[in-house]
Amino acid sequence: MRSGRRSGGWARANRPVPAAALAEVLRVTDGFDLAGVDPADTPGFAGGRRDAEQSFAEDGALLSTLQERLWAGGVAGSRRSLLLLVQGMNTAGKGRVLRDVAAAVDPRGLRVASFAAPTAKERTHEFLWRVRRCLPGPGELAVFARSHYEDVLVARVHHLVPRATWQRRYTAINRFESSLVLQETVVVKIMLHLSAGEQSTRLAWRLQHPDLRWRYDPRDVEERAWWNDYQEAYQAALTRCSTEAAPWYVVPADRAWYARWAVRRLLVGELTAMGLEPVPTHVDVQAEVARLTQG
Amino acid sequence: MRSGRRSGGWARANRPVPAAALAEVLRVTDGFDLAGVDPADTPGFAGGRRDAEQSFAEDGALLSTLQERLWAGGVAGSRRSLLLLVQGMNTAGKGRVLRDVAAAVDPRGLRVASFAAPTAKERTHEFLWRVRRCLPGPGELAVFARSHYEDVLVARVHHLVPRATWQRRYTAINRFESSLVLQETVVVKIMLHLSAGEQSTRLAWRLQHPDLRWRYDPRDVEERAWWNDYQEAYQAALTRCSTEAAPWYVVPADRAWYARWAVRRLLVGELTAMGLEPVPTHVDVQAEVARLTQG
């Protein structure tokens, strides 16, 4: 009774904001200040966890339909595709986003990539090389956990390359993303914004569960010493690379249920804005049904 | 109340058969006769649709845990992997299996492949070439919709190659699969067994729904004229290639809820039989938690 009543009431009186309005609230625009965003906040959402879960499930059905249209379009010759790129501190929920997308779409039209520290071979190439190899093909939806932004985040924080090198990369990234958009790839960039306190809780959780322990790396704790440097590097990446063609969205991530809801809603919003329709076919439906009935 | 009571009662009084027993019931063994399998049957399952859905959801959580162990093992250096291969007539539910697996696992450890009619390039190679390129890597779970069996199914039915050629392939397939198993890949082969009547219903459903119509191909109706030839080709493939190393399972598929339940349960059973454990780490949990609390 409880969930039915509350959700029903909420659904009528307290609809979640439309995807376009959510995007407006979360988009990085002039004067953005990451330090001013509370990771525990739930912007654009008035209900509680249970309401978010219901809305999340409803958006899952929408995502499924829209992704099939995107994919069917690709099969029919369209070049359109979508790249969802997720950044965030360790345990922010990047892997969860991969799973949430995969749970709702046809895996034949999905491409996931996870970018760890570059291999020796990857390091011999320019920084965008490995990313280019994982871009979505026609009709595909690609999801990146980490991305070329690592090359202006960890590379900047730990001085992996000279200052002049990472400085140049912001412009290189903007041109790269702008070229993708011109080639009919919608680029959606989301930062999952986590607090240091919540990260500590999540790392401890991993440690305490035998099935999650393999994901724990003692270096994750050492990285916490650079927390403020990372926030600065994020602030720079977010403000220098939030463009008209490929804006950044910052999603507070301390409440996993909110972050999962918001990411899916942003994704559904982008797919909706693409104006995808069922792919038209030239089949004579009545004649075919008749053939089937005879067969 | 209804679902709660019924499911609860069923869960106690009427547990679904253990995966090993289900495998026993569905495995293709000496004297197997496909014509004797009723596509509308639900072997190994006594409850109704709602019970199956509950059991399916429970098995999803198990599948998630086991796949993470498989994948974590691969990251830690294990060579073990699993290949789930699904065959069946058009609309039998092969795509649904891909989605059901993808919905429950981490997409970073999943590989899906769908084998349509071979391209010009693929035809220049021997028939196993394109399949070898999609095999699971260490720790991966791969799911194939169609596979090298098309080369003894459609190729046999439509005389795409001389009789001597497809005759040789049964042995080639057995040796190929046996080599995979020796290389620590568990091979699970499932045929979704559909009736011609249910196929007709499903094709009509696709025709009548604008968002599914793109999946409808008028040639699908023409293929129905070869229904019996396909059943014969399946009978031969199932009996000649159900080996100790890589047995075939036939899952009646007219009731989609049963087929989805049975496929997931077989998969969970195979992963369980692999004896996967959480990957051990050498982290001092108490010391790390203390470090986290200080940090």
**Domains, chain B, with CATH or none:** 7-294 (3.40.50.300)
Write the residue in A200, A218, A279 that is nearest to B283 by C-beta.
A218
Amino acid found at A78 = S
B208–A contact, CB cutoff 8 A = yes
Chain B residues near residue A108 by CB distance under 8 angstroms: 95, 98, 112, 114, 145
* Greatest distance between any 2 Cα atoms in chain A: 73
Nearest to A108 among B72, B98, B279 (CB): B98
Can you give the pLDDT at residue A35? 98
- CB distance A95–B106 less than 8 Å? yes
Contacts of A68 in chain B (CB under 8 A): 211
CA distance B287 to chain A (A): 10
**B5-42 burial, b for 16+ CB within 10 Å, e for fewer?**
eebeebeeeeebeebeebbeebebeeeeebeebebeeb
* Contact call for B103 and A102, based on CB within 8 A: yes
pLDDT band (50, 70, 90) for residue B14:
low
- From the list B99, B224, B279, the residue facing A214 with the nearest CB is B279
Residue B187 pLDDT greater than 60, yes or no: yes
B214 and A281: CB-CB below 8 Å?
yes
- Tally Cβ neighbours within 10 Å of residue B262: 30
- pLDDT exceeds cutoff 90 at B282: no
User: Would you call A195 helix, strand, or coil by DSSP?
Assistant: coil
8 Å CB contact between A136 and A142: yes
Q: Residue B242 gets which letter from DSSP?
A: -
Are B196 and B227 a contacting pair, CB within 8 Å?
yes
Cβ pair A210:B95 closer than 8 A: no
* Segment A264-291, tens digit of pLDDT: 999 999 999 999 999 988 889 999 999 9
| Percent of chain A whose predicted confidence (pLDDT) is above 70 | 94
CA angle A235, A236, A240 (to 5 degrees): 120
pLDDT tens figures, B225-246: 999 999 999 999 999 999 999 9
Is the pTM higher than 0.90?
A: yes
Helix (H) or strand (E) holding A235: helix A227-240
Token output for A139: 């009709």
The amino acid that residue A144 corresponds to is F
Integer Cα distance of A282 and A207 in angstroms: 57
Contact A26, A252 (CB under 8 A): no
Backbone angles phi, psi at B83, to 5 degrees: -115, 120
Q: Write down the ipTM of this complex.
A: 0.91
- pLDDT higher than 50, residue B5: no
Set of chain B residues whose Cβ sits within 8 Å of the Cβ of A214: 72, 75-76, 278-279, 281
Q: Which two tokens stand for residue A205?
A: 């959780």
B117 touches chain A (CB under 8 A): no
pLDDT of residue A295: 58
Identify the CA nearest to A186 among candidates A238, A145, A246, A114: A246
Q: Can you give the pLDDT at residue A5? A: 40
- Per cent of chain B over pLDDT 90 is 89
d(CA B181, CA B184) in angstroms, rounded, equals: 5
Report how far residue B3's alpha carbon sits from residue B288's, in angstroms, rounded to the nearest whole number. Answer: 45
| Residues in chain A closer than 8 A to B72 (CB atoms) | 214-215
- Exposure of B228 by Cβ count < 10 A (0-12 exposed, 13-18 middle, 19+ buried)? exposed
Q: Examine the pLDDT at B2 and tell me if it is beyond 50.
A: no
How sure is the predictor about B17, in pLDDT bands with cuts at 50, 70 and 90? confident
Q: Which helix or strand (DSSP H or E) is residue A142 part of?
A: strand A141-145
Mark the ranges of chain A whose per-residue pLDDT is less than 50: 1-13
Contact B283 A68 (CB under 8 A): no
Residue B99 touches chain A, beta carbons under 8 Å: yes
Give pLDDT, residue A14.
55
Coil, helix or strand at residue B113: strand
